[in-house]
Amino acid sequence: MHTFSRTTNNPNLDDLMDENKLWVNPRVAEIWGIENGQKVWLKNQDDVVSSFPIKVRVTERIRWDSVYMVHGFGHKEKRLSRSYGKGASDSELVTHVMTDPVMGGTGMRGNFVTFLLGNPKKEEVES
């Protein structure tokens, strides 16, 4: 239903999906002690932490070694009122882009994340 990030601020499409969720395999959720609907922050291999938390969707529909989220959520722009702070932004976590030296194509699936179960930005909120 969403294409690109601009559709997440569309009121009609917002009614269908108002935030993204992080798909996590049940085996991984059990190891981490994560429950369906629990909010987590994500941290990538370059220590970039998601600006906002994302709710977990525990599902067999994702491999144990991968996670998935819909693109276009977790905006930091407050004027995008329907998607501001709702879910996490996959874009901010993609810090490693590989470029094919022959044809110039890019690969962005070489990024890795881990879960942060507590609010890593708690000190910023209290300030």
DSSP string, 54-118: EEEEE-TTS-TT--B--TT--B--TTSTTTBTSS--HHHH----EE-TTT--EE-----EEEE-S
The CATH number linked to 74 is: 2.40.40.20
Residue 39's domain spans which residues? 6-126
Residue 113 lies in a domain: yes
Closest CA to 62 of 99, 86, 34: 34
**Dist. CA 97–CA 37, nearest whole Å:** 30
61: in domain: yes
pTM: 0.85
CA distances from 22 to 42, 107, 118 (A): 10, 21, 16
Q: Does residue 55 form part of some domain?
A: yes
Count of structural domains within the chain: 1
Measured in residues, the chain has a length of 127
* Cα distances (Å, whole numbers) of residue 85 to 1, 8, 31: 19, 12, 28
Rounded to an integer, what distance in angstroms lies between the CA atom of residue 25 and that of residue 17?
21
Would residue 102 count as lying in a domain? yes
Question: Is 111 among the domain residues?
Answer: yes
Integer-rounded Cα radius of gyration of the chain: 15
Q: Would you give per-residue pLDDT tens digits along the chain (127 residues)?
A: 666 666 777 788 878 888 999 999 999 999 999 999 999 999 999 999 999 999 999 999 999 999 999 888 888 889 888 888 999 999 899 998 888 899 988 877 788 999 999 999 776 555 4
1 domain residue, yes or no: no
